[in-house]
Structures are given as C-alpha cells and as structure tokens.
Amino acid sequence: MTSTPDAPAVSALSEQFEAAFGSAPDGVWQAPGRVNLIGEHTDYNEGFVLPFAIDKTAKVALRLRGDSQIRLLSTFGAQGLVEADAAALVPGSAKGWTKYPLGVAWALQQRGIEVPGFDLLLDSDVPLGAGLSSSHAIESAVILALNELKEAGLRAEDMVLETQRAENEFVGAPTGIMDQSASLRGSAGHAVFLDCRDQSIQLVPFDAEDAGLVLLVIDTKVSHSHADGGYASRRESCELGAEVLGVSSLRDVGIGDLEEASGLLDETTFRRVRHVVTENDRVLQTVERLTSDGPGHIGLLLDASHASMRDDFEISCPELDLAVDTSRAHGAIGARMTGGGFGGSAIALTPVRHEQEVRDAVVRAFEAAGFTTPDIFTVVPAAGATRLI
Ligand code: ADP
Ligand code: MG
C-alpha cells in the first residue's frame, strides 16, 4: 500500500464506489495526465519526446467480478451507469469516456489475458481535451489495476503498447506511445526523455522553481479530438514522406538529409517531414541544455518548436498562437503549443516575477479577440501511475 497526501479523497472515492456497487473496491489506482515539454508528433515517427507526468490525475476504484458484466461510473459528466459485457467487447461500439476502460479490457483480451467483468468508478481532475491526455490517464490507471488484479505480469513497456492498442484499434484514435509512457513511467521532479523506437527512457531533472521559473499551462478551451481527421492526416503525411525517402520511419532522416528530401517530396509533405526531423533535433538539444544548464536555457527551443508546428506541420490555431505570442511578449522565456494540436493547451516557461503579468495579459488578449476565457495553471513534474490503496 502506498501512502498518499490525498488520503481523504481516496477513502471518499472508495466509499462512493461501495455506495454505487454494493461492496468495497479491490483497490484504487491513480495515473497522471502529462504535459509535453517538447517533441510533438515525433512519437509515431519512432523519434524522441520529452513529456512529464503532471500533478493532475485520473483515479479508478475497481473490483473484479465473478461474471462477465462490466459496470462503469464516472464522478464527471452525465453519462450515468454504463454496462457492457466483457465477453462481447467490440471496437467502435463504446461511447464517451467508457471507450477508454473498455478499450483497455479489450486490448488485454487480444493479448490473451482473460479479463472478467468488473465494476469501476472513475474520478479525474485532468482537464478533458486540453492536450494533457485525460484519455491516457484513464487508460493507464485501468491497465495498472487490471494487470495487478489479474497478476498478468505486464511490464510498463507492455502496458504502454496495450494502451496504444486500445486507443488505436478500440477508440479509433491513431495516437502514439508518448502520453501513456509519461503517465506510467513518469517520476516526480523529472521529465521523461523517451526514445520511441525502443522505449528506452532517461529521467531528466526538471526543476523550474529552482531556476526562478514556473511552467504555465494555458488551456485555450478549444477542444480537439484525436479521432478527427487532422491528426490522422498528419500521420499519413509522415508515412508518405518516409516511403518516398526510402526509410522505415522519419527517425532515420537527419537535418543534413533535408536538402535532398526537398527535391523528392511535394511541398506540403516536405514541410511535414521537416517539422518531424527538426523537432527530433530540438528534443535532443533540450535534453542537453537541461542537463548542462537547466530550464532557464531551453526557451528558444520551445519557441522554435511552436513556429515549426504553426508553419510546417500546421497544427496550431489562432487561440494557441495568441497564447504563445502574448506570453512571450509579457516575459515568458519560451512558449509553445503542447499536445496533438488543433486546440488544447499552450505552455509558457515564465520567470516567477512575470507570472502574474503573463496570466493577466493572456486573459486580456483572449477577451479582446472574442475568445473563450482560457484556464491558466502551473504544473510540476509529478509521480507516475501507482496504486493508492
Ligand atoms: P485528451 O486525452 O487530450 O484529454 P481526448 O479527446 O483523447 O483528449 O480524450 C478526452 C475524452 O476523455 C473526453 O471526451 C471524455 O470522453 C474522456 N474523459 C476524460 N476524463 C474524463 C472524466 N473525468 N470523466 C469522463 N470522461 C472523461
Ligand atoms: Mg487523448
């Protein structure tokens, strides 16, 4: 059993589970959302990413059943109790948040692990669709619970692949392995430098406070959906680029190959490829600078990443650009959109002495532009997924 500062909230969740389902849960598991410091749309190109687990989490209270009935309840939203049959899970059939736990159960079954029915209560404070991966927070918590209760013996790397299978094949969102790697393998005080080719990780200290900085998240409230076309079409462009360039993935294209690539690819595909290739390089540079000089020295890399996503990969939107530009104009040392794009959040690495000014300026700029008021909060690297009781 792991002790938690959140103990009263955990017992409350356990009691709520008991009230809803008639008996206590087998346990409560928690998995964090994540913010990506840098390395966007590189994961499915077998490249590099540098996310960290954040101090916002999905908690699931779960109890295995003796039959095949699944009953799902969330403290959030109006979906109410949802029932399913563990023996008849079909990709594409589930609705709302339930596709994430059901997708995990289905993925484990595909792996040959027998998953019986279960009762599950979800409580999450990871903002939805904000680019902080509320979906993988749910999936990571659920797979940790089922792996433990079924004594399936999956390693973190296996759980990463099974939650990817759940999102790709059951939910229908062609996402990579970054989010769940941060959620399952994150560590307090560190960013997770992940090589998506072999899943090797290096924990890189990230202590913004020590450098007199805060990492602000600006949730634009523009909702994105990875199951929609934009993300999938960028993925297709990357596959096309790799095919024409004769490599198995864009990981194998270096900065020095770009000039030749520009003659082989159509203009749009070339810009997509250039984003991925230069972004991989920026991740490596960020890791180097964090290790040698600290967070105060990565600002320009964050800026360059944003420009690349805005101009080459074309996944930003007016709200994200405004959040980034306004933060920079009011004292942030670097800013970029984070997550899959088309909405969600921006991050702004900001000196503590400019924090209030940046917050106020962004809110004012959004108001003047007629955009929805953004939600602005700070994040620090927090622990990865764990069992609470
Ligand atoms: P992201 O993972 O970036 O937050 P997604 O579109 O992948 O965005 O996932 C968001 C979806 O996850 C929501 O539409 C909702 O179905 C589900 N979800 C996440 N957290 C919760 C929650 N606490 N309660 C209910 N549904 C949730
Ligand atoms: Mg998601």
Q: Is the CB of 76 under 6 A from ligand 1?
A: yes
pLDDT tens column, 129-178: 788 999 999 999 999 999 999 999 999 999 999 999 999 999 998 888 99
pLDDT of residue 197 exceeding 80, the answer is yes
Q: Are residues 38 and 165 in the same domain?
A: yes
Q: Environment class of residue 318 by beta-carbon count within 10 Å: exposed (0-12), middle (13-18) or buried (19+)?
A: exposed
Q: How many domains does the chain have?
A: 2
Q: Are residues 133 and 260 in the same domain?
A: no
Which residues lie across from 378 on neighbouring strands? 216
Name the residues around ion ligand 2, CB cutoff 5 A.
133, 135
Atom from ligand 1 closest to the CA of residue 132:
3
Judge whether 1 lies within some domain.
Answer: no
pLDDT at 226: 59
For residue 372, the enclosing domain spans 206-378
Q: Is the ipTM of this complex over 0.90?
A: yes
Which residues lie across from 337 on neighbouring strands? 346
Q: Are residues 264 and 324 in the same domain?
A: yes
Residue found by looking up tokens 């992940």 in the block: 194
Q: Environment class of residue 229 by beta-carbon count within 10 Å: exposed (0-12), middle (13-18) or buried (19+)?
A: exposed
Atom from ligand 1 closest to the CA of residue 128:
4
210, 188 contact by CB (below 8 A):
no
Which domain CATH number covers 357? 3.30.70.890
pLDDT tens column, 294-322: 999 999 999 999 999 999 999 999 999 99
pLDDT of residue 328 exceeding 90, the answer is yes
Q: Are residues 78 and 186 in the same domain?
A: yes
Specify the DSSP element, H or E, that contains 93. none
Q: Are residues 214 and 158 in the same domain?
A: no
pLDDT at 225: 67
Q: Are residues 232 and 142 in the same domain?
A: no
Query: Which protein residue's CA is at the shortest distance from atom 17 of ligand 1?
Result: 97
